[in-house]
Structure 1
Amino acid sequence: MTVKNAFYAQSGGVTSVINASACGVLETARAHSDKIGKVYAGHNGIIGALREELIDTSLESDADIAALKHTPGGAFGSCRYKLKDIKTHKAEYERLIEVFKAHNIGYFFYNGGNDSSDTAYKVSQISEQLGYPITSIGIPKTVDNDLPITDCCPGFGSVAKYISTSIMEASLDIQSMCESSTKIFVMEVMGRHAGWIAAAAGLAQREEGGAPQIILFPETPFDKASFLRRVDEVVKRDGFCAIVVSEGAQYADGRFLSDAGVTDAFGHTQLGGVAPFIANMIKSELGYKYHWAVADYLQRSARHISSATDLDQAYAVGKAAVDLALAGKNAVMPVIVREQDSPYKWSVGEAPLAKIANVEKKMPKEFITEDGFGITEAARRYLQPLIQGESYPPYKNGVPDYVKLKNQLVAKKLAHSFNV
């Protein structure tokens, strides 16, 4: 029986630990070279498969593959590209099969979030419809922490650690200057429909009612009057107010506060600018001097402050993906299973992609305080273990020493190209 090769690709917004999942896949596949041949990585995600731009990871040294564990970003390039419906865009799937056949690929590992799970699920179906056997395994990754079934998503714990640390430090800064200067600080964080990242900011509170005094979640409809009233109360009580707002904060009718009026490659509303929107509202209505910041890419790329727990889980799901494939599983995803909160214990389980694809897990009501501006003790019990532990990267000349792979493409075997 011919040993099949594997295809691994990264998708969507990357994280500070997605390369740890890649490391888990590659090291585990190398340990089973009698069952999996070469592992090709998609240059820029699934686009690399469609364009037949495959990176030969066998050319990378064991040391460089191991260094992926402490290197942020997407080592092979990621993308925002969602496979269309096979009924109306069969050519895309026929192209995938054509490329897989040409390079003897029998395993497909796709590392991403909601839309990426959909892609992995669709690929698992084409073996039946197009007559080519493909073992397709999804690998969870998303800073938004909004995949169902899995207790948490690799990538989230590190963002949570970064956000809680950043708002704690910024709050100390503004507190020291509020008597004669700025009284309002607004930090915008990621989170389109789910407020997990915003909630993590609550871990910075060192006492009840401490900074950040206000958190705005997508799950809680924004009410201007009650919000401004709370801001004014906090400033008069504490002298300053630190606010964390999710980019997906919205009104009761579902309109985003920061709707930019355009959509991204996945068809999602492009968001951005809710921090200055909130800050200017406060200035206009209450007159308080402000500063605002957008965590943006900094929150998801900050490998220097990644959670050790998150790193361990990211590697574990990469390893488990290969183990599941070799066990004959298909159309599944390895997931994190929480066994207990304190001391925190977790393991890796599995779930069908059909129940994960295109499903978003939002913050449960019991995690948000009754007034809608903070997190409950239940939320703290859930969040706290995910930011535990430090795993600093090696440093050289005062800055992190991150690996850069060769990323050499294999020779194309197909005569024609495919436009993406």
Structure 2
Amino acid sequence: MAAGKILYAQSGGVSAVINATAAGVIETARDKGMVVYAARNGILGALREDLIDTTKEAKASIAALRHTPGGAFGSCRYKLKSLDENRAEYERLIEVFRAHDIRTFLYNGGNDSADTANKVSKIGHALGYDVNCIGVPKTIDNDLVVTDTCPGFGSVAKYTALSVREASLDVASMADTSTKVFVIEVMGRHAGWIAAAAGLAGSKAGDPPHVILFPENVFDPEAFLARVQTTVDKVGYCTVVASEGVKDAQGRFLAESGARDAFGHAQLGGVAPVLVALVREKLGFKCHWALPDYLQRSARHIASRTDVDQAYAVGKKAVEYAAEGLNAVMPVIVRVSDEPYKWTIEAAPLDKIANHEKKMPKNFMTKDGFGITAAARRYLAPLIQGELPPPFGEDGLPVYVSLRNTAVPKKLKKFKAAS
């Protein structure tokens, strides 16, 4: 069994099931007699020595994390620079680890988090303090390599497909005298996995969504308008699903505002109104648009049971790896078969995951670029299977948990993280 305590931190945008991973971590650690601290607000909590003692939480509260959305301990968008650029932050992390006898660091996030965990695993040794670092997969964008899918994606996929199906029924019922074109914008900066999942809403020709715009394809306004016009002529209305990362022929995001987040990513959001303005101007149709934004990743009430199970499993496996003394690895999901859908978890080196991005395969998109293929359906369909709804209270709303988040007494001087 690994010596010392475990520090668990959540990173980046949260998902409907990231707390299920936290439950998997804490419950498994308790079964093994291991202590878990959590970093308040992600890696910033580790740098600030703002740690949470999860042993103070009731068993029932930890179990309730399985059905509670958001990030129970807080998350942040903060990327550690290289050792050469900011050695002080790495030295501070090791100082905090040493002060609290932390020998395992579990970083629950996406690509940037895998990169950070990988760096810390190497730098700890270089600074004279061995700490085993394990990246725990989480991203709604489904863009981590090696793993078959990312915990968080299946639930967003289910929410998106469901929303497209329900909203399209509404549009269809009013199309004769009202809205002819409905555009829904989904997350996905560089990879179109969420947009592709919308394709599960339809099962036969003529079903919505009628147009899917992927970030992997260059946006062709003429081809897009022609497809919208043809669809309205044949079906009576047109449902469009657009990834926020759609780019024009010059490689510019249609929705880019010019602002950037802490990871250096372009701040997006607003491709739907751009498309609606184009349709109105060129085709004259009445349009409506929707921007689900955070609703996509917080919709725990309609989460995929497959996704919840996988999110819990990677947390559980991360602790098992910690107990075995594994370092610089990530528990990844391996698909065994499509029908019936079977999966398992294996350890993959962080070197193979960090700084790589999984985009939609070309054979997942139809030749015209506006839909998904049978191969995409085989991959996507199992990920949205099953329901595991939260308990509902007398007020008709889900019952979620708020943890006590008792602080661990500090031992070190105050530290200010770089901006």
What is the alpha-carbon distance in structure 2 between the residues aligned to residue 69 and residue 232 of structure 1? 45
Residues 35-54 of structure 1 deviation map (CA, whole Å, 9 limit, x = unaligned): x3x21100000000000100
- Give the CA deviation at 1:259: 1.1
The residue type equivalent to 1:344 in the other structure is: Y
Identity, % of aligned pairs? 64
| 1:259-338 equivalences in 2 (<5 Å) | 259-338=256-335
How far is the alpha carbon of 1:326 from its aligned partner?
1.3
The whole-number CA distance in structure 2 between the counterparts of 1:328 and 1:49 is 21
Q: Relative to total residues, which structure has the larger strand share, 1 or 2?
A: 1
1:18 — aligned with what?
18
Question: For the Cα contact (< 8 Å) 2:2–2:324, is it kept in 1?
Answer: no
* Contact 2:206/2:235 (<8 A) preserved: no
Structure 1 regions of 5+ residues with no counterpart?
A: none
Residue identity matched to 1:238:
V
Please give the alpha-carbon distance, in whole angstroms, between the structure 1 residues aligned to 2:278 and 2:415.
Answer: 52
Q: What secondary structure, in the 3-state scheme, does the structure 2 residue paired with 1:262 have?
A: coil
Which of 341, 346, 354 is 1:357 aligned to? 354
The 5-angstrom pairing of residues 144-155 of structure 1 reads: 144-155=141-152
CA distance in 2, matches of 1:301, 1:40: 24
The answer for the alignment partner of 1:31 in structure 2 is 31
Work out whether residues 2 and 323 of structure 2, in 8 Å CA contact, stay in contact via their aligned partners in 1.
no
Aligned match of 2:412:
414
**1:190/1:389 Cα in 2 relative to 1: closer, same or farther (>3 Å)?**
same
Output one character per residue of 1:149-175: Cα deviation in whole Å (capped at 9) or x when no partner: 000000000000000000000000000
Q: CA deviation at 1:206?
A: 3.2
Query: 1:116-265, aligned counterparts within 5 Å?
Result: 116-265=113-262
For residues 55 and 198 of structure 1, the distance between their equivalents in structure 2, rounded to whole angstroms, comes to 37
- Cα deviations across residues 263-308 of structure 1 (Å, max 9, x unaligned)? 1110011111000000110001100000000010000000000000
TM-score by length of 2: 0.98
Instruction: Tell me the secondary structure at the aligned position of residue 263 of structure 1.
Output: coil
The whole-number CA distance in structure 2 between the counterparts of 1:208 and 1:183 is 18
CA distance, structure 1, for counterparts of residue 349 and residue 196 of structure 2: 28
What secondary structure, in the 3-state scheme, does the structure 1 residue paired with 2:124 have? helix
Instruction: Please name the residue that 2:69 is paired with.
Output: 72
Residue correspondences, number: 417
Deviation at 1:88, TM superposition (A): 2.0
Question: Hey, what's the Cα distance between the residues in 2 that align with 1:208 and 1:219?
Answer: 23
Residue in 2 that maps onto 1:374: 371
Q: For residues 87-128 of structure 1, what are the alpha-carbon distances to aligned partners after superposition, in whole Å with 9 as ceiling and x for unaligned? A: 121100010011111111111000000111111111111122
Asked if structure 1 preserves the Cα contact closer than 8 Å seen for 2:110 and 2:137, the reply is: yes
Matched, 1:405 2:406: no
Q: CA RMSD in A?
A: 1.1
Q: Secondary structure at the match of 1:390?
A: coil
Q: For residue 90 of structure 2, what is the aligned residue in structure 1?
A: 93
Match of 2:9 in 1: 9
- CA separation in 2, counterparts of 1:5 and 1:329? 15
Distance in 2 between residues matched to 1:2 and 1:192, nearest whole Å: 38
Q: CA deviation at 1:416?
A: 3.2
The letter for the 2-side match of 1:146 is D
TM-score under structure 1 length normalisation: 0.98
Q: Distance in 2 between matches of 1:170 and 1:246?
A: 17
Q: 2:85 and 2:202 mapped to 1: Cα distance?
A: 51
**Deviation of residue 2 (structure 1)?**
9.6
Per mean C-alpha deviation after superposition, the further-off stretch among 165-174 and 352-361 is: 352-361
Q: 2:309 and 2:259 mapped to 1: Cα distance?
A: 37
Instruction: Structure 2: give runs of 5+ residues left out of the alignment.
Output: none
Structure 1 position 417, deviation (Å): 2.7
